[in-house]
Structure 1
Amino acid sequence: MSFFEQTGKVAIGSRLRMLTDKVTEDAAQIYKLYDIDMQPKWFPVFYSLSKGEEKTITELAKEIGHSHPSVSKIISEMLKKGYVLEKKDKSDGRRNVVSLSKQGLIISDKVTNQLIDVNAAIEELSAQTQNKLWEAIGEWEFLLEQKTLLKRVEDKKKLRDSEQVEIVAYEPKYQEVFRALNVEWISAYFKMEESDYKALDHPQGYILDNGGHILVALYNGEPLGVCALIKMDDEEYDFELAKMAVSPKAQGKNIGFLLSSAIIELAKKLGASKIYLESNTILKPAINLYHKLGFEKVAGKPTPYTRCNIQMELVVS
């Protein structure tokens, strides 16, 4: 069994590099076959210039999808070979433009014949395959532009990690972690306030005995996230989503989303119609999460927190 049969698709990068190396090695020999002294990596730049237009390095980089430093290095190598000319742009003396030299134009004629034969060989190769590689590459490029492989793997990791998360109801044994997690994040960005101490030092009397609820997120049995649903004495809102905190070591495991989603579901079961929350726009991940959950910005309610600069609501029924 080959290495790639053992690893499967996870080694796609290595396999593509091997295919690229094999094609590039042949490409170097093909240039020799046509008596052309050129490195395969020069081809995109050379082909772009062969159309006859003078171009800046920036324009070349944008056209062929390479970085500016990469194109600059290729141009330097082609200048040493005498294949290109570089001069000041007549319309803008601050820019340099590049074009093929006389020697480069001679090479361009040779390359024309080479491309005819290479294209025919690739068409022949494609006709012998069941799967169309060229079309597949285009599809992959398009899909990865919409969502990178890194982001796709991050999403899969979050999904797998979330399967290890259990959301449970608050018990007195969680009071210390409820307080510690909230103090940790509040102190990292703001200052603890009187209302914080009331809720965190006395969650039973301040939250639970007044008709509220607290949920705890366990990751592999360890409490790493908390969130409260505080009963509001308000004609418009039933509950406030508050005191949500996730341990830094649990970031990226989707715990914030799972906790807040569970709190919202609990509010629905309790017959709530609207949930309210207060936050600060400096907490961008949290604000993005609330928007994702369907919360919308509101204004005008008095708040006991000096750190609050955004108020949001969610219609749940």
Structure 2
Amino acid sequence: MGKGAMKFGGKSGLLPKPKEIFKQPYKHQVYKKQTDSGYAEGILHPKNITRDYIPSKVFTPEQLLKRSAHEPAKKFTEDEIAKMPISQQFKVKNAQMRREYLKDSYQKEVERLENLEKHEELLKLEEEKLAQEAAKHTQSKAEFFTSPTLESYLSDPLVRPRTAEEQESLRIKKESNRLQTRLNADTQRAASLFELYNASINFAITEEKLEKLVDAAFDSKADEAWNNVASSTPNKISAVKNHVTFDNALVDIVLDNVNKGPGYEAVEDYLNGFTDDIKELAEQIKKEKNQQDIEAANENLNKVAEMKRTDV
């Protein structure tokens, strides 16, 4: 079963058309000839036909039931059926059950068709009511003067021009977007410059710095440090490395450092005074904590003094 069969209730293939129970009318209907239909007057038509409508023969549910599942000529009682052979009993009971089911199906089909006719009549009455209301509708002056016409569409522009307020609002939005884009680019450039500036500490940009780096590379103490590291176990080296890396990363996150130096956001916070506010808040919390500790110590001293007085 493919995915396309799910929209058909999980059924695939070509389903057979439902069989019509009443292939012919089950009740008499009054036929109304449509206007301007049929043969024109004075025009001959073929022989053995008529210009009048010949309605189909009506077969009521009772007639259909009598023709397809008629009642038996003799009705057997329960005692007579019990004395029959099993095969004969099955035939009699099967025929009776078929008549009951067929009669029930005819009744349900008639009810369905009658409900369908009532629904169609209600829809027709509703359409006629709407048509009458539409015919009685009179166009008001406001509707007449405000409803657009084909000439108005052709004479006026297809797109309404913006007003002065809308043009000014659009200009302000464009300017705001341009400034925001420029600010984002400048901020990113400043952050990159801070990273480069902090990383330049390790660059040999002067001869003195180059000599220091060369001397450090060939220093005996550096060789001893590397030898100590090489002689250590791999587990010890990985532990020290991870510990140092974690500490450095934690310090950089807390202080907002980049390449062991202050980053753009840290400098911006310092210039805006945010760092000073944090320091003042930390000092205030520290003072409050010290005051609480002093008060707690005084309470403990008073308790000890009272205990000594009671002992004396």
TM-score for the superposition, normalised by structure 1: 0.17
Select the structure that is richer in helix: 2
Select the structure that is richer in strand: 1
TM-score for the superposition, normalised by structure 2: 0.18
